[in-house]
Amino acid sequence: MGVERGPDLRATATLRPHRVVVATNGLGPISGAPQMKTIIEPFRIKSVEPIRMTTRAERQRFIREAGYNLFGLRSEDVLIDLLTDSGTGAMSAPQWAAIMRGDESYAGSPSFHRFEAAVKNLMPFRHVIPTHQGRAAEAILFSILGGMGRRIPSNTHFDTTRGNIEASGAIGDDLVIAEARDPALVHPFKGNMDLDRLEAYLAEQGEQVPCVMLTITNNAGGGQPVSLGNIQATAEIAHRHGKLFLIDGCRFAENAWFIKQREPGQGERSIPEIVRDCFSVADGMTMSAKKDAFGNIGGWLAVNDDDLAEQARAHLIRTEGFPTYGGMAGRDLEALAQGLSEIVDEDYLRYRIQTNIYIVERLDALGVPVVKPAGGHAVFVDARGWLPHIDPLAYPGQALAVALYEIGGIRSCEIGTVMFGRQPDGSERPAAMDLVRLAIPRRTYTQSHADYVVEVFGDLAAIKDGLGGYRIAREPKALRHFTCAFEPLEGVSA
Ligand SMILES: *Cc1c(COP(=O)(O)O)cnc(C)c1O
């Protein structure tokens, strides 16, 4: 009988808390930092999910069988899953307790009223409309505000937002500041709207524009924050032109933390106060509760306008459910109500953002080119910059993502030419950047997991110049990155 090796208990010696050298974010000291230099995970563990250990040889077989596409892996064959921070966070004991309180009444459930009150406490909108995910809120919103010939500007639309805008016949435009396009440039609010461009845009084509949006933090732009000043200025411009101002608020708490850290005059204010200021200048919001509401599922649409709310609820009843549950069960509404009180906790946010800073600083020290400063929910590696011998059309981001899995069992996500390179005419063009995203699930991994990720990059540094690129062997017509199959080109395997 073969002896199964249990977990190496010596490894627990590395289960130490964050050893932060200096509590700074590269942009100045962190206000309100605790006395000790070590920023610990502000929770202890009550329930664990075992990670199944695998060997490099096994992983090489798993990824080959998945057509070298990380979306094709079984999650139990992954050691550290950094594919996404969406719905992958750990719920707290009070959230699990709240789930038992969930009232599944079809209409008028007290769980809805607790959820609604928790949303309105932070985002003072008149109407709160629950949906099963953020994209359902977007689909409802743009079925009303979108349509042929319309244009909708944002700092950067997230891909489902753009998808729902385009499905309505409208066009989405990205007007983020120019600094956002330089990965190595340090700027405190790289997610900001370019206000001059927005003014010019509205002056030129304002007639086609029903609303102005802002995504906080700017997910497609690397999780970079938007300043309170920029939110207020964008609202002022939109309102002066008679347009609705809407916020895609998926990472509102992370954004508020950055405002508190980096915006002059905000350092002494509470996170809920800053959050309320952000939303009080808006006419509505869309939300994915799988991000900054600590949910595994859920979302909402909130608006002030009564007519808009009435149309949205009619659509909601047709596609999601009755307005007091929408796309969720009563127990989900309870988990989100509790999650909203936890996400604005400063100890949590300090630990959350420090995790990304910790990884970025260490990768930087290894000479791995990373997007700076660290964003709110993910670390982005510049694969094109690190693997310059791989042509962009041979997908350096994919090569890096596959190597991270083979060497260390880390699952990341290519955000580059695989995702954006295919043109409508079927031709292929390099994307603006070839990045690999390490998205950090909320409250799920510890510092030793972060140290492990850094160590894998260290091992990779020794062999990266021999890594080969990939070609796409099979692909669907749209959104190919989810399901396409790759074949390795010449080069040594990791
Ligand atoms: C995740 C996300 C969405 C879509 O939300 P889902 O819950 O995944 O449907 C929209 N906008 C942003 C910025 C997101 O990060």
Task: Sketch the domain layout of the chain as residue ranges.
Answer: 56-85+377-488, 93-342
Question: At a CB cut-off of 8 Å and minimum separation 6, what does 304 contact?
Answer: 125, 126, 127, 283, 284
Q: Which residues line ligand 1 (CB under 6 A)?
A: 86, 133-135, 158, 160-161, 215, 219, 248, 250, 288, 290-291, 299
Question: At a CB cut-off of 8 Å and minimum separation 6, what does 74 contact?
Answer: 62
Return the CATH number of 93-342, one of 3.40.47.10, 3.40.800.10, 3.10.290.10, 3.40.640.10. Answer: 3.40.640.10
Q: Determine the Cα angle at 121 with ends 117 and 123, to 5°.
A: 110
| Burial status of residue 134 (CB atoms within 10 A of its CB: 0-12, 13-18, 19 or more) | buried
Ligand 1 atom nearest the C-alpha of 290 is 7
| Span from the CA of 86 to the centroid of ligand 1 (angstroms) | 8
Domain topology for 56-85+377-488: Aspartate Aminotransferase, domain 1 (3.90.1150)
Residue nearest to atom 11 of ligand 1 (CA): 158
| Span from the CA of 119 to the centroid of ligand 1 (angstroms) | 17
pLDDT in tens, 72-127: 999 999 999 999 999 999 999 999 999 999 999 999 999 999 999 999 999 999 99
pLDDT of the residue at 30: 53
* pLDDT of 9 strictly over 50: no
Ligand 1 atom nearest the C-alpha of 133 is 7
Residue nearest to atom 8 of ligand 1 (CA): 134
DSSP 8-class letter at 14? G
**Residue 426 near residue 415 (C-beta atoms within 8 A):** no
| Span from the CA of 135 to the centroid of ligand 1 (angstroms) | 6
Ligand 1 atom nearest the C-alpha of 220 is 13
* pLDDT of 400 strictly over 90: yes
| Span from the CA of 299 to the centroid of ligand 1 (angstroms) | 9
pLDDT of the residue at 357: 94
3-state SS assignment for residue 411: strand
Instruction: List the structure tokens of 98.
Output: 């709240």
| Beta strands 435-439 and 378-382, pairing class | antiparallel
pLDDT of the residue at 483: 93
Average pLDDT along the chain:
92
pLDDT in tens, 250-275: 999 999 999 999 999 999 999 999 99
* pLDDT of 23 strictly over 50: no
Enumerate the H helices of 252-395 as residue ranges: 252-262, 271-280, 306-319, 330-343, 346-365, 383-386
pLDDT over 70, % of the chain: 92
pLDDT of the residue at 132: 98
* pTM given for the model: 0.91
**Residue 215 near residue 156 (C-beta atoms within 8 A):** yes
* pLDDT of 471 strictly over 50: yes
| Beta strands 410-411 and 80-81, pairing class | parallel
**Residue 59 near residue 456 (C-beta atoms within 8 A):** no
Cα–Cα distance, 347 to 335 (Å, whole number): 20
Q: Determine the Cα angle at 415 with ends 213 and 470, to 5°.
A: 155
* pLDDT of 317 strictly over 90: yes
Cα–Cα distance, 71 to 220 (Å, whole number): 19
| Span from the CA of 239 to the centroid of ligand 1 (angstroms) | 25
Ligand 1 pocket mutation pick from 85, 132, 154, 160 by most atoms within 8 angstroms of CB? 160
Instruction: List the structure tokens of 150.
Output: 């319309």
Cα–Cα distance, 251 to 463 (Å, whole number): 36
Report the 10 Å Cβ neighbour count for 113.
Answer: 14
Query: Average pLDDT of 470-489?
Result: 92
Ligand 1 atom nearest the C-alpha of 288 is 7
pLDDT in tens, 203-233: 999 999 999 999 999 987 789 999 999 999 9
pLDDT in tens, 322-368: 999 999 999 999 999 999 999 999 999 999 999 999 999 999 999 99
pLDDT in tens, 159-184: 899 999 999 999 999 999 999 888 88
**Residue 68 near residue 486 (C-beta atoms within 8 A):** yes
Which residues are paired to 370 by β-bridges? 381
Question: At a CB cut-off of 8 Å and minimum separation 6, what does 198 contact?
Answer: 153, 175, 212, 234, 237
Distance (Å) of CA 493 to CA 166, 178, 193: 40, 38, 42
Distance (Å) of CA 42 to CA 27, 38, 272, 345: 24, 11, 19, 10
| Span from the CA of 158 to the centroid of ligand 1 (angstroms) | 7
Cα–Cα distance, 85 to 88 (Å, whole number): 6
Q: How confident is the model at residue 36 (pLDDT cuts 50, 70, 90)?
A: confident
| Span from the CA of 113 to the centroid of ligand 1 (angstroms) | 24
Cα–Cα distance, 312 to 307 (Å, whole number): 9
pLDDT of the residue at 177: 96
| Span from the CA of 161 to the centroid of ligand 1 (angstroms) | 8
**Residue 18 near residue 40 (C-beta atoms within 8 A):** yes
Q: Do domains 56-85+377-488 and 93-342 have the same CATH topology?
A: no
Ligand 1 atom nearest the C-alpha of 297 is 7
Report the 10 Å Cβ neighbour count for 172.
Answer: 22
3-state SS assignment for residue 37: coil
